[in-house]
A and B are shown apart, each in its own frame.
Chain A
Amino acid sequence: MIVKSLDPRIERAALDDESKIGELNVHEHFETYEVFQQVKRGTHHQHVGNVHAPNAEMAMLFAKEQYCRRGAAVNLWVVATSNVFVTEYVDADIFETTEDKLYRDPNSYKVMDRINAYKARASKV
């Protein structure tokens, strides 16, 4: 049955609501690209999301509108999702450090006592 619509665009299209058109095939919406946006010169690029695109040029075009249509941006990177290599959350323990690595802690370096003791010895001579 032809759709009678209140939307003039849809009305003009004379759609058949029984038709089974439109079904998508596998991968018909292309692969994804991860998008990294630089808000201001001097700052890091940040991951903001992804876009489906058939190639990097179009990924760039799409990313500009999807992620940068509001607010400031000066630069974009896009990377095919298949080219992003990731760690596993089960291995998050590799990022933990133990507390006793004081040699890396600036506060563990205290020399005033040593300097004072030396001065005291030197003045007695």
Chain B
Amino acid sequence: MRTKPGPARCKEIRIISQPQQTVKIMEFTEKHVEGLKELLYKMADDLLIIGHRNSEWTGLGPMLEEDIAFSSMAQDKVGQSLALFELLHELGESDPDTVAFTRNDNQFHCSQLVELPIGEYDFSMVRHFFFDHAEAIRFEMLADSVFEPLSMVARKFKGEIKYHTMHADIFMKKLAAGGEESFTRMQNAINETFGLALGMFEPGNFEAELIEAGIFGGEAELQQRWLDKVVPLLESFGYLVPKVESTEPALGGRHGVHTSHLQPLLDEMTEVFSIDPGADW
């Protein structure tokens, strides 16, 4: 649904599944819609890719009970991703399976953080901590979005995400206190992952429009709130947190520039689907 940007005008967004309901937003331009879609794509891509990565731990976790918990959270992420792709579909994009299973890496808008291989449990746990807190805050901000379908999705998943951050916090705390090997592993993982995490907050092309319309409060605010949350928390567990000013954020993901890990991931993810993308699986 990409058209040339025109003069500012009142835009009605019709929700396809409920034709009687239209959300009328004053001065909602094509740019706003583009910005909204860009936002939805990056969220949906992040959630799909991190859910996919975390599902690689199923059956291979450090302990049965934790294996079960981590798999559940991976499923939750993929489910949340689906909900956002469904919103995109209602806004005129193709159906979720087509969108998710037929794009190449330069068409994906996930952060580089989520595409890295699972590594060892230290990296996966730190990634889980950084990502899930960002997601929780992003959804908290979106709970008040003027775009009601998105605010509804954000509110719907609040409980799920609360468990995810609870899980991450408890593990980060306990692993800090678990002796030298454990602390060192976790501290190193934090050092190596911090810059990747900052890449989540790479500004989009429509920050001003989204903020002005009340659709989303923007990446800058999200990053600040995230830092205000995770830095004191990590320090309270005994970790040292790298300084933002001296950390290179891993940028590019939001604009289709990825590491060498994403395309192999996508090739694997789409291996069966691409046998026949038109078939019913």
Do B65 and A66 have beta carbons less than 8 Å apart? yes
Do B68 and A61 have beta carbons less than 8 Å apart? no
The stretch of A39-47, A52-60, A80-88, A102-110 that contacts the partner chain? A52-60
Question: A30 to B72, alpha carbons, bound, how many Å?
Answer: 22
**Which of chain B's residues have a CB closer than 8 A to the CB of A51?**
65
The residue in chain A whose Cβ has the minimal distance to the Cβ of B71 is: A65
**Which of chain A's residues have a CB closer than 8 A to the CB of B12?**
none
Do B69 and A62 have beta carbons less than 8 Å apart? yes
Name A54's contact: one of B64, B68, B174 (CB within 8 Å).
Answer: B174
Do B64 and A61 have beta carbons less than 8 Å apart? no
Q: How far is the CB of B109 from chain A (nearest CB, A)?
A: 24
Main secondary structure of the interface of B (DSSP, over half): helix
Number of residues from A at the complex interface, CB < 8 A: 18
Q: Is B167 an interface residue (CB 8 A)?
A: yes
Q: How far is the CB of A96 from chain B (nearest CB, A)?
A: 39
Do B65 and A53 have beta carbons less than 8 Å apart? yes
Q: Is A9 an interface residue (CB 8 A)?
A: yes
Do A61 and B167 have beta carbons less than 8 Å apart? yes
User: 1/0 contact trace for B68-79 toward A, CB 8 Å?
Assistant: 110010000000
Do A58 and B163 have beta carbons less than 8 Å apart? no
Q: Is A69 an interface residue (CB 8 A)?
A: yes
Question: A121 to B274, alpha carbons, bound, how many Å?
Answer: 99
Residues of A within 8 A of B (CB): 8-9, 12, 29-30, 51-55, 57-58, 61-62, 64-66, 69
